[in-house]
Amino acid sequence: MKVAVIGAGVIGLLSALELAEQGVHVDLFDQRLAGAEASWAGGGILSPMYPWRYPSAVNALAQSAKTMYQTWNEKLKPVTEIDFEIHHSGMLIFDESDFALGLSYADQSQNPMQHAQLLQASDILNTNPHISAQFKQALFFPHLANIRNPKLLQSLVCYLKQLPHVQWHEHTQITQLHFEHQRLQHIQDQHGHIYTADEFVFSTGAWSHQFSQQLNIHIPVQPIQGQMALFKAPPGFLPTMCMNEVMYLIPRADGHIVCGSSMQDIGFNKDISHSLQQHILDASYQMVPALKKMPLVQQWAGLRPSSPHGIPYIGVLPHLNNVWLNTGHFRNGLCMGPASAQLLRQLMLQQPLSVDPNVYNPSHLI
């Protein structure tokens, strides 16, 4: 079997990995470089932010992220010599209106990874001594972790490029789809080159809607810009992730601290807004005032693939029986990615399923 995976962000890369590990021949396409868009731009928290605010379909895919990435890292690291840098930092949440929901969520969802405890001021400082004194209580989630997404992407790309049955086509924009007898026969790039496959996977993220007309469906996925900032502190300066009012701080093992993020519906625009950047910095300083003394080393924006309710589309299109979607993960592509790719592989190869696929089925898009 030969599968063409169109879009090489984290969803496309993990989809290609799942299939390639089963011996499937994979052609991997990206209009730019692999892993250069939203997957690189994100923070890498291995849990939805405030998971009790999300549909169960999102959490069903996200809850295995940490263990699946640990497994993949153990397999890929000896080959690529690149560590995903999964950081078991835990997380402090300061939103008082979420305390009751957060404390009960682990039992409600039967997910021990989401176990939380309510800390008072002295316990907060023992857990993270740089937290502002204005926070008298916090929820602490000791089992939550983050992944250094650029390292993850580098490792995935390096591993896949060493596999002889994976062919790479970067800087290759797929512009035309050619159909016959309810099947996609071949795809064509911007230079007129034609590529054939048995099955085709569209993991095209924020650009997915651009294929709606040719696929004769409506893919309600659109770009939502998110801006980020990066500080450099001494290693170990910030022991835990922090979150307040949907703004977060994510410490890396080497002292870098990722701060974010904003949300703007402004199309395919990645220009930095100084007012939004200032809002991110102010929110960061509110949680950890000592960051004002740390160098700000980078600011950037990415484009999230927004879908209704943040539930991705995973499955085959019923009117085109060799066309598959794995897209629309919105803010949670990194934490839903491993299970999404696993589900796609299970469906395509008719293997036992790890989750109920019906809620992700794209059949209603016709």
| pLDDT(289) > 90 | yes
CA distance 283 to 244: 8
Q: Which of 338, 343, 310, 309 is nearest to 325 (CA)?
A: 343
pLDDT band at 22 (very low <50, low <70, confident <90, very high): very high
Assign residue 44 a region (left: φ > 0; alpha: ψ between -120 and 50; beta: otherwise).
left
| pLDDT(366) > 80 | no
- Average pLDDT for the chain: 97
Task: Name which CATH class applies to 2-64+150-221+309-365.
Answer: alpha beta
pLDDT band at 365 (very low <50, low <70, confident <90, very high): confident
How many C-beta atoms surround the C-beta of residue 81 within 10 A? 9
CA distance 190 to 8: 17
Q: What is the pTM of this model?
A: 0.96
User: Over the stretch 212-249, which tens digit does the pLDDT of each residue have?
Assistant: 999 999 999 999 999 999 999 999 999 999 999 999 99
In this prediction, residue 115 carries a pLDDT of 96
User: Over the stretch 319-360, which tens digit does the pLDDT of each residue have?
Assistant: 999 999 999 999 999 999 999 999 999 999 999 999 999 999
Name residues whose C-beta falls within 8 Å of residue 49's C-beta, 6 or more positions apart in sequence.
243, 246, 248, 331
In this prediction, residue 11 carries a pLDDT of 98
Which of helix, strand or coil describes residue 336? helix
Q: Which of 320, 336, 339, 316 is nearest to 328 (CA)?
A: 336
In this prediction, residue 226 carries a pLDDT of 96
| pLDDT(204) > 90 | yes
In this prediction, residue 90 carries a pLDDT of 98
Helix (H) or strand (E) holding 43: none
Fold of 91-143+222-306: D-Amino Acid Oxidase; Chain A, domain 2 (3.30.9)
Token pair listed for 125: 């400082």
pLDDT band at 271 (very low <50, low <70, confident <90, very high): very high
In this prediction, residue 195 carries a pLDDT of 98
pLDDT band at 24 (very low <50, low <70, confident <90, very high): very high
Considering the chain, tell me which residue range(s) the CATH 3.50.50.60 domain(s) occupy. 2-64+150-221+309-365
User: Over the stretch 33-77, which tens digit does the pLDDT of each residue have?
Assistant: 999 999 999 999 999 999 999 999 999 999 999 999 999 999 999
Residue listed under structure tokens 């605010």: 53
User: Over the stretch 111-153, which tens digit does the pLDDT of each residue have?
Assistant: 999 999 999 999 999 999 999 999 999 999 999 999 999 999 9
